[in-house]
Amino acid sequence: MKKLILVRHAKSDWPEETEDFDRPLADKGLAEAMHMSRFMKNNNVAIDYFVSSPAVRALNTCKIFNQAYHLTITTNEKLYNPSESNFESVIYDLDDNVSSVAFFSHNNGISNFANSISEDIFHFPTCGVAGFEIDCNSWSEFEGAKKKLLFFYDPGKI
């Protein structure tokens, strides 16, 4: 069994003359990310590896989560403005030693991807987190594997 955790970046700001890629987290986003990461760690949500969009708001969300988890972080540009196939491409590149991975990414792609692998209807709020159990031994088996929603956390409701 593998676990895939999808995390939408926390609430961001959009200062004047700032490119989309360089948008920072808002103060609310910093608080959301700290709250959510502690909640997940305190509820024993195991994660082995973080992969983040390189965009500032996603990577900073990932770094805040890493204050609780202390893992290796990698970035993958496929998680910035992603399509469903971008997520799958990143999944297929994972090492099979990784049992549980968290992807830090953006809407609409992250919601669309979650909807493509689940019968539940998703619209991720900022810093929303969904966890899936993937019935496979190798990430290469992802497409045909049975997928089960384990949890969906909205930071405004925890």
Full domain range(s) for residue 59: 2-153
Count of structural domains, the chain: 1
* For residue 119, pLDDT beyond 90: no
Q: Which amino acid is at 43?
A: N
Q: Which amino acid is at 28?
A: K
CATH number at residue 110: 3.40.50.1240
User: H or E element: which one contains 73?
Assistant: strand 73-75
Asked if the structure places residue 107 within a domain, the reply is yes
pLDDT band at 154 (very low <50, low <70, confident <90, very high): very high
Which residues are annotated as part of the binding site? 57
Question: How much of the chain exceeds pLDDT 70, in percent?
Answer: 100
Which residues are annotated as part of the binding site for substrate? 57
Exposure letters 27-64 (e unless 16+ CB within 10 A, then b): eebbbbbbbbbeebeeeebebbbbbbbebbbbbbbbbb
Listed residue (46, 53, 37, 48) closest to 106, CA to CA: 53
Cβ(25)–Cβ(61) under 8 Å?
yes
Bridge partners, residue 108, by sequence:
none
Asked if the structure places residue 111 within a domain, the reply is yes
Asked if the structure places residue 92 within a domain, the reply is yes
Asked if the structure places residue 66 within a domain, the reply is yes
- pLDDT, tens digit, for every residue of 130-145? 999 999 999 999 999 9
Q: Within 10 Å of residue 3's Cβ, how many Cβ atoms?
A: 18
Asked if the structure places residue 51 within a domain, the reply is yes
Asked if the structure places residue 158 within a domain, the reply is no
Helix, strand, coil in percent for the chain, rounding step 5: 40, 20, 40
- The residue written with tokens 């992807």 in the block is 103
Residues 41-49, mean pLDDT to the nearest whole number: 96
* For residue 121, pLDDT beyond 90: no
